[in-house]
A and B are shown apart, each in its own frame.
Chain A
Amino acid sequence: AQTVTQSQPEMSVQEAETVTLSCTYDTSESNYYLFWYKQPPSRQMILVIRQEAYKQQNATENRFSVNFQKAAKSFSLKISDSQLGDTAMYFCAFLYEGNKLVFGAGTILRVKS
């Protein structure tokens, strides 16, 4: 069974600084997709960034980028120039067989002014 592990229950970062959230996963699949979702206090799930496993290049979306290490089964999220609005729960998620997302337990990120 596929599992996703986020080892950091909580993180804090000062505004304008950079923070990295960790995620590891376990799978025997070769082709899959990885995602980071943001859940602010409103509880809505917002897609932050996605990565296709067959692509070597790390995905980037503005201030958000990933470090995808396929062999190590690692998928970390880097947030640059952190803003107060980045305060949220961040979930790493794994998709295989095209249908079902498997989520990690989440990391609470607090951005401090």
Chain B
Amino acid sequence: EPEVTQTPSHQVTQMGQEVILRCVPISNHLYFYWYRQILGQKVEFLVSFYNNEISEKSEIFDDQFSVERPDGSNFTLKIRSTKLEDSAMYFCASSISAGANGYTFGSGTRLTVV
């Protein structure tokens, strides 16, 4: 069964550093998403991406964050000047249509900011 692949599975970074979280969505999917889950809290929407541009973003997704689909297969989330509170599980997801059939999520990247 096709999978959404996320790398790395765990990333530790120093506060203030930039990190790039990588995702390879399912090849024929057209919609891409990033979600975040702070330990013990709800899964929160960050951003959706379609046709090479952001289609929707949450209040969390401020100037510190950016997304890119650099080569037609990867979908990246960049976090600049990381803060302690950015520590969370970051999930990438993709869907063939606008989510009505449910997304396929990746296994997540656990980001730890120290």
Stretch from A21-29, A62-70, A77-85, A103-111 at the B interface: A103-111
A75 at the interface (CB under 8 A from B): no
Cβ–Cβ contact B98 & A105, under 8 A = no
- Residue contact A98 to B108, C-beta cutoff 8 Å: no
Sorting the interface of chain A by its residue count into under 10, 10 to 19, 20 to 34 or 35 or more gives 20 to 34
B99 at interface, CB cutoff 8 A: yes
Q: A43-B108, A44-B108 are in contact. Are A95 and B99 (CB under 8 A)?
A: yes
* A35→B102 contact, CB < 8 A: yes
- 8 cross-chain pairs, A with B, having the tightest CB-CB distances, nearest first: A98-B98, A45-B105, A103-B43, A47-B102, A44-B107, A100-B45, A99-B48, A50-B102
Interface residues of A in 19-71 (CB under 8 A from B): 33, 35, 37, 42-47, 50, 52
Q: Does B18 contact A (CB under 8 A)?
A: no
How far does the Cβ of A87 sit from chain B's closest Cβ, in whole Å?
A: 18
Task: Pick the contact of B89: A43, A98, A100, A106 (CB < 8 A).
Answer: A43
B91–A45 CB distance below 8 A: yes
